């Protein structure tokens, strides 16, 4: 819920953020800003947890 609220607020203020960005970045055209949730950190944490669970099981088989 709160992540969606953050995206909504960013989208509401996209034009203002884009205008501020154009003041600090030297480009012929300021790119249109698009916001989306990035869950790669959460996915990475899940993979890491799975790998940690697998490692002890493999140690038991090799001991």
Tens of pLDDT along 19-50?
Answer: 999 999 988 998 899 999 888 998 999 999 99
**Burial letters 14-38, b for 16+ CB under 10 A, else e:** eeeeeeeeeeeeeeeeeeeeeeeee
How many domains does the structure of the chain reveal?
A: 1
Decide if 3 contacts 37 (C-beta within 8 A): yes
Residue 58 has pLDDT above 80, yes or no: no
Confidence (pLDDT) at 63: 62
CB atoms within 10 A of CB 13: 13
Q: Domain limits at 32?
A: 2-62
Closest Cα partner for 21 from 13, 10, 30, 34?
30
Q: How far apart are CA 23 and CA 11, in angstroms?
A: 19
The whole-model pTM stands at 0.57
């Amino acid at each position: 819920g709160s992540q969606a609220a953050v995206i909504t607020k960013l989208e509401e203020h996209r034009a203002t953020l884009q205008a501020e960005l154009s003041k600090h970045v030297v480009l012929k055209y300021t790119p249109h800003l698009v916001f989306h949730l990035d869950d790669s950190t959460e996915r990475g944490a899940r993979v890491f947890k799975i790998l940690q669970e697998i490692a002890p099981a493999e140690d038991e088989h090799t001991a």
